[in-house]
């Protein structure tokens, strides 16, 4: 086992943060979680779970106190394509405050290493207009034309991490997530991403039912299972690479194909009703993992079919529980 570290995970009440805390505890580290909320579905494995508003500088100083060795800064105001296209001001303001205050608090409190969670939304939109998109290399973020709001603030925070290393010698790592999914993720309420939203819709549908799909369904994405994501995070934190790194798979699928895959797992025949006015983001996005393989000697390997089977089973069980509760209430 590696030497025990004192680690802070911000966003520990969220999907990826919750899984990361569990992994770091399994690896034998002392972990503090910080978030504006507790985890929704399971109790945190963290040694300390603190409810803090990381938009405030004083709360970031509290979170990073006490000899923290490493910070995984996953805290963010974010969600699926519907949410991030409708809330540019709130998302940009909240995340700029979180990231700037967390970087400065970590530096002031002597944190040794800081990992920033960026996003594939930083990539130049002109390079994502074809469903048969060429996998995006890290250099494809420039010249800058990221997605409005969320993409711009992520790209700026990447630059801020570089400035902190250049000006202060503060060790930062930058990871660009490509569509993470898995159990314990948000699956309803408007902030869910495509695999979870589709899994929920299919779980609620009966055989031969119809579900709504935003756009024509021919837009493409790659999706990464949360276990691969967590493995990648720990490897990137331990690496010597200060440049941004893609963290995703290069298994490209259309949204229509994603629906068919989930329906197959559920053993249901599902008809798609395409809503052409619904938000759908860029036309195609895929991860080039060349640099990741070079730096880490590793890349995500869990295939979409395998990860979706576990994810759908979890979401389906949650949907069934909700239906049973409603029926019980209705019977009273």
**Strands 113-119, 70-73: parallel, antiparallel or unpaired by DSSP?**
parallel
162, exposed or middle or buried, with CB in 10 Å at 0-12, 13-18, 19+? middle
Q: Which helix (H) or strand (E) holds 151?
A: helix 150-168
172, exposed or middle or buried, with CB in 10 Å at 0-12, 13-18, 19+? buried
Q: Cα(153)–Cα(91) distance, rounded to whole angstroms?
A: 8
Phi, psi for residue 252 in degrees, rounded to 5: -80, 135
Residues in the chain: 332
Active-site residue, 312 included: no
- Is omega for the bond preceding 143 within 30 degrees of 0, making it cis? yes
Three-state secondary structure along 158-182? HHHHHHHHHHHCCCEEEEEECCEEC
Going by C-alpha positions, the residue among 66, 23, 65, 69 that lies closest to residue 44 is: 23
Secondary structure (3-state) at 206: coil
Q: Which of 72, 150, 181, 187 is catalytic?
A: 150
DSSP state for residue 24 in the 8-state scheme: H
Going by C-alpha positions, the residue among 77, 91, 72, 76 that lies closest to residue 33 is: 72
Catalytic residues: 150
């Amino acid at each position: 086992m590696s030497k025990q570290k004192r680690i802070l995970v911000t966003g520990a009440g969220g999907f990826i943060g919750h899984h990361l805390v569990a992994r770091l505890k399994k690896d034998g580290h002392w972990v503090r979680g910080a978030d504006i909320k507790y985890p929704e579905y399971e109790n945190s494995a963290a040694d300390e779970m603190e409810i803090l508003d990381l938009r405030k500088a004083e709360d970031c100083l509290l979170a990073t106190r006490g000899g923290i060795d490493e910070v995984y800064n996953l805290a963010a105001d974010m969600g699926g394509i519907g949410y991030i296209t409708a809330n540019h001001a709130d998302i940009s303001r909240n995340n700029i405050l979180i990231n700037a205050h967390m970087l400065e608090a970590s530096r002031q409190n002597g944190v040794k290493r800081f990992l920033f969670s960026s996003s594939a939304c930083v990539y130049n939109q002109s390079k994502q207009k074809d469903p048969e998109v060429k996998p995006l290399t890290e250099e494809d973020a420039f010249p800058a034309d990221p997605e409005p709001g969320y993409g711009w603030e992520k790209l700026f925070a990447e630059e801020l991490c570089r400035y902190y290393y250049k000006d202060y010698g503060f060790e930062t790592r930058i990871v660009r997530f490509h569509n993470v999914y898995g159990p314990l993720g948000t699956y309803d309420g408007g902030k869910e991403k495509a695999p979870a939203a589709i899994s929920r819709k299919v779980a609620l549908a009966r055989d031969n039912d119809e579900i709504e799909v935003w756009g024509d369904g021919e837009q493409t994405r790659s999706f990464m299972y949360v276990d691969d994501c967590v493995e990648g995070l720990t490897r990137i934190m331990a690496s010597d690479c200060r440049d941004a790194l893609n963290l995703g798979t290069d298994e490209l699928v259309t949204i229509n194909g994603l629906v068919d895959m989930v329906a197959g797992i559920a053993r249901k025949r599902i008809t798609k009703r395409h809503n052409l006015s619904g938000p759908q983001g860029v036309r195609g996005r895929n991860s080039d993992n060349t640099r990741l393989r070079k730096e880490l000697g590793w890349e995500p390997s869990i295939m979409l079919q395998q990860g979706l089977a576990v994810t759908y089973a979890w979401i389906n069980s949650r949907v069934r529980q909700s239906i049973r509760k409603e029926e019980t209430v209705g019977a009273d």
